[in-house]
């Protein structure tokens, strides 16, 4: 009880920590960046979009009195990620927390799915986790402290029609998380994943109303999650309160999959 009561009272403290959040210009990534900033972290906001698309995120973080810098990056490209790493370390000095949040969908029934749709999703969703983690892990290991949190999905746990590529990428993140957690625990680094269900974002806003009703009918809590609810889970996993939790997949799906 003490652990969760302390968390609810707002005692999570990330003062002077530096967090890299991929796909942070909007949606879940933005909510995560703001939650970490409210807890005291300085934020490296990364996204494939130009900086003008991330101005809102940057301004809100700075309004909290925290440092925020933007780094444009294509996380599916090793070269782009390595450049982003160099720029982040030059401007921010160090990195303590990595949130692998960037992701895309290219949905289609498998019989109609082509190789490009497969490769695009695997590259952005899964290859990026390898590239970004490889980029920042040495810095964390040198300090014997770090937090790596990657966005999986309920789809990676239960599968979904028309999302073979997406399900494979998210299931891959789960395996990645469990294996890496065993390797770096001795370095004071925890590695966890969050598997959200359906979340209220621009991506789900385009779901036709009749389809959305059918999805909600499968969710015991009868609603989609809010981005801030995902961000709160990330915040908990970043704090010392969760320092003995590693290699886990935290499911935030309203009971859709248990």
Per-position DSSP letters for 177-243, written without gaps between them: HHHHHHHHGGGTEEEEEEEE-SB-SHHHHTS-HHHHHHHHHT-TT-SPBPHHHHHHHHHHHHSGGGT
Asked whether residue 256 is domain-assigned, the answer is no
Taking a C-beta distance cutoff of 8 angstroms, is the pair 236, 242 a contact? yes
Q: Say yes or no to pLDDT of 1 above 60.
A: no
Asked whether residue 257 is domain-assigned, the answer is no
Q: Return the pLDDT at 11.
A: 66
Q: Say yes or no to pLDDT of 5 above 90.
A: no
Which residues does 67 contact at the CB level (< 8 Å), separation at least 6?
42, 43, 61, 92
Q: Say yes or no to pLDDT of 178 above 70.
A: yes
Asked whether residue 2 is domain-assigned, the answer is no
Q: What is the mean pLDDT of the chain?
A: 95
Active site residues: 166
Q: Return the pLDDT at 10.
A: 54
pLDDT in tens, 207-217: 899 999 999 99
- Residue 237 sits at φ, ψ, to 5 deg, of -70, -20
Asked whether residue 4 is domain-assigned, the answer is no
CATH number, position 149: 3.40.50.720
Q: How far is CA 240 from the centre of its chain?
A: 18
Which residues does 74 contact at the CB level (< 8 Å), separation at least 6?
48, 80, 81
Angle subtended at Cα 43 by Cα 37 and Cα 44, rounded to the nearest 5 degrees: 165
C-alpha torsion sign, points 119, 176, 256, 6: negative
The CA distance from 39 to 222, in Å, is 30
Q: Return the pLDDT at 3.
A: 43
Asked whether residue 119 is domain-assigned, the answer is yes
Q: Say yes or no to pLDDT of 52 above 70.
A: yes
Asked whether residue 235 is domain-assigned, the answer is yes
Q: Buried b vs exposed e over 105-118: b needs ≥16 C-beta within 10 Å?
A: bbeeeeeebeeebb
For residue 18 the two structure tokens come to 């530096």
Range of the domain at 145: 12-251
Asked whether residue 6 is domain-assigned, the answer is no
Q: Say yes or no to pLDDT of 9 above 50.
A: no
pLDDT in tens, 121-155: 999 999 999 999 999 999 999 999 999 999 999 99
Asked whether residue 159 is domain-assigned, the answer is yes
Q: Return the pLDDT at 207.
A: 87
How many separate domains does the chain show? 1
């Amino acid at each position: 009880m003490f652990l969760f009561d302390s968390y609810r009272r707002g005692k999570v403290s990330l003062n002077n920590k530096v967090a890299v959040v991929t796909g942070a210009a909007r949606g879940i990534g933005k909510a995560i960046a703001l939650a970490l900033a409210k807890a005291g972290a300085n934020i490296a906001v990364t996204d494939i979009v130009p900086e003008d698309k991330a101005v809102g995120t940057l301004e809100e973080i700075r309004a909290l009195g925290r440092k925020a810098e933007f780094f444009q990056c294509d996380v599916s490209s090793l070269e782009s990620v390595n450049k982003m790493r160099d720029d982040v370390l030059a401007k921010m000095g160090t990195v303590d927390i990595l949130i692998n949040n960037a992701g895309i969908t290219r949905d289609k029934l498998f019989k109609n799915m082509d190789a490009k749709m497969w490769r695009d999703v695997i590259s952005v969703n899964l290859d990026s986790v390898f590239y970004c983690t490889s980029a920042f892990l040495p810095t964390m290991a040198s300090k014997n402290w770090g937090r790596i949190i990657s966005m999986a999905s309920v789809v990676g746990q239960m599968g979904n029609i028309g999302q073979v590529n997406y399900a494979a990428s998210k299931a891959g993140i789960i395996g990645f998380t469990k294996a890496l957690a065993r390797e770096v625990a001795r370095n004071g680094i925890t590695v966890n994943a969050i598997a959200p269900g359906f979340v209220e974002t621009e991506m789900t806003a385009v779901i036709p109303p009749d389809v959305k009703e059918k999805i909600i009918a499968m969710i015991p809590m009868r609603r989609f999650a809010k981005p801030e609810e995902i961000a709160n889970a990330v915040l908990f996993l970043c704090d010392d309160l969760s320092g003995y939790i590693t290699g886990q997949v935290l499911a935030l799906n309203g009971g859709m999959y248990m």
